[in-house]
Chains A and B, each alone.
Chain A
Amino acid sequence: MKNKEPKFRITFDDSARDFVLDAFGKKVGKGGFIVEKSNPAQKVLTPRGEEIKAEELAGVRKGSTVFLKSDIVSLVEAAEAIKS
């Protein structure tokens, strides 16, 4: 019988933030905002159109790779993504 894939929870600490951003083609640009690595003039936005400062980054969720801020509204969306 094939083994069932165990559940993973992937996290990172702030020391690894740049590495995680790089994995998704992003980086920290001018003013501390998260920007596209290939086009630093283009800031990464939340689904509600908010710019994201590096220290506000809560993570990345599925659904066209959405970057999350650390407010409760975004974290509820993260929980929904994990649940589904």
Chain B
Amino acid sequence: MLKKILKAVGVDLSKLQELVKVVGSFNVKIDRSVHIHHHHVEGDTLYINPDRLSGKQKHNLKAFLRKGVEETGAVLEERCVSQVEEVLKALPCLENLTQKLIPIIPPEDVPLLKACLFLREKHKSGQNVDNLKAQIVNVYGMRGRNFSNLCSAGYLEDWMWPTYQELSKSFPDASEARARFLLLYNTFVNELPWTEFISSWGSLKKLSDRIVQKMEQNSKNGIFHLNVHALGKINTQKVDRVLPDIVKRTGAKIVRREQESTRIFIRLEMPRFLQSGPS
């Protein structure tokens, strides 16, 4: 069908057939650069210059674009193609977790989930993801920042899915289990009640106040721990500088500490928990 429309644009399909025989697929690029006459094939790409088409051919090329979106999934600006290709390659690796979480998280968070998992894969492979994270925050705000941090620290596997599974056991009605999960999920993602991700901005005093406030609030709600995560040299140093003040103000103990050169994880537990004994 698309080939028929291309023929109506005036494209010499015999050149295209040769290309298809060799590579099995090809790209069509709409390009108004002056060196492109009507159309030509270069590498695996058919270039079409709309400025060199007749009125009827332009009309047909527009029909090709509309039909092309439906048949190929998307028409993309060329500077985004490599990023989309990267995502396409990564998607199968993310499916194990996305298939579990998509039915239970809010539908509006599904693109956020996939973007954060993609970012995590890139980070794991040693690539800088600051720009991608900024893009996520730009779209989803603080919720996006929180979700991205939770994802990178493994909470999707270690907290979200196990929490839902536990709720499913207690509430066999799936809609009730999901409703209860969503209450916890929204609090967890919006407020990070028992986690703190250290960022480079903000004073030590404000950081200390925030963590102390969270721990006091958690204690009132029967939760006696708080996890502190930091990535990067500056942030890990910040944790070391703020911890003594937090311990002094809350009486909390550091019950777990994992530290690498640019990553730190601290688990703090409030004294009441220690006295009553962990379950």
- For residue B114, CB closer than 8 A to chain A, the reply is yes
**How many chain A residues have a CB neighbour from B under 8 Å?**
43
Chain A contacts for B78, CB-based, 8 A: 11-13
State whether A12 touches B75 (Cβ < 8 A).
yes
Considering only residues 24-71 of chain A, those with a C-beta below 8 Å from chain B are 24, 48, 50, 57-62, 65, 68, 70-71
State whether B132 touches A11 (Cβ < 8 A).
no
- In the assembled complex, the Cα of A20 lies from the Cα of B32 at a distance in Å of 11
What is the CB-to-nearest-CB distance from B26 to chain A, in angstroms, rounded to a whole number?
Answer: 7
Chain B contacts for A84, CB-based, 8 A: 73
Which of B133-141, B152-160, B215-223, B233-241 is near enough to bind chain A? Answer: B133-141
- For residue A23, CB closer than 8 A to chain B, the reply is yes
Interface majority SS on B: helix, strand, loop or mixed?
A: helix
Considering only residues 1-45 of chain B, those with a C-beta below 8 Å from chain A are 1-3, 20, 24-33
State whether A70 touches B77 (Cβ < 8 A).
yes
- In the assembled complex, the Cα of A58 lies from the Cα of B71 at a distance in Å of 18
A5 CB contact (under 8 Å) in B3, B74, B136: B3
* Given A5-B3, A19-B32; A75-B25 close (CB under 8 Å): no
State whether A59 touches B76 (Cβ < 8 A).
yes
Residue of B nearest to A24 (CB): B66
- Can you list, as one digit per residue, whether each of B119-140 has a CB less than 8 Å from chain A (1) or not (0)? 1000000000000100110111
State whether B118 touches A76 (Cβ < 8 A).
yes
A79 CB contact (under 8 Å) in B30, B68, B79, B87: B87
What is the CB-to-nearest-CB distance from A17 to chain B, in angstroms, rounded to a whole number?
Answer: 7
- For residue A72, CB closer than 8 A to chain B, the reply is yes
* Given A19-B32, A73-B111, A73-B112; A10-B68 close (CB under 8 Å): yes
- Can you list, as one digit per residue, whether each of B58-72 has a CB less than 8 Å from chain A (1) or not (0)? 100111111011111
Residue of A nearest to B83 (CB): A75
State whether A72 touches B83 (Cβ < 8 A).
yes
- For residue B84, CB closer than 8 A to chain A, the reply is yes
* Given A76-B118, A79-B87; A61-B69 close (CB under 8 Å): yes
Chain A contacts for B81, CB-based, 8 A: 9, 11
State whether B65 touches A24 (Cβ < 8 A).
yes
* Given A76-B87, A76-B114; A59-B135 close (CB under 8 Å): no
State whether A61 touches B25 (Cβ < 8 A).
no
- In the assembled complex, the Cα of A14 lies from the Cα of B29 at a distance in Å of 11
What is the CB-to-nearest-CB distance from A48 to chain B, in angstroms, rounded to a whole number?
Answer: 7
B118 CB contact (under 8 Å) in A48, A72, A78, A83: A72
Chain B contacts for A70, CB-based, 8 A: 77, 79-80
Chain A contacts for B63, CB-based, 8 A: 23
* Given A70-B77, A82-B88; A13-B135 close (CB under 8 Å): no
State whether B24 touches A11 (Cβ < 8 A).
no
State whether B73 touches A8 (Cβ < 8 A).
no
Residue of B nearest to A59 (CB): B76
Q: Which 7 A-B pairs have the closest CB atoms?
A: A23-B62, A82-B73, A7-B25, A59-B76, A79-B87, A81-B73, A12-B30
28 A-B contacts (beta carbon < 8 Å) = A8-B72, A10-B27, A10-B29, A11-B28, A11-B30, A11-B75, A11-B76, A11-B77, A11-B78, A12-B31, A12-B78, A13-B29, A16-B31, A17-B77, A19-B30, A20-B65, A23-B63, A23-B65, A59-B74, A65-B66, A68-B80, A71-B136, A72-B87, A73-B140, A75-B83, A76-B87, A77-B111, A83-B88
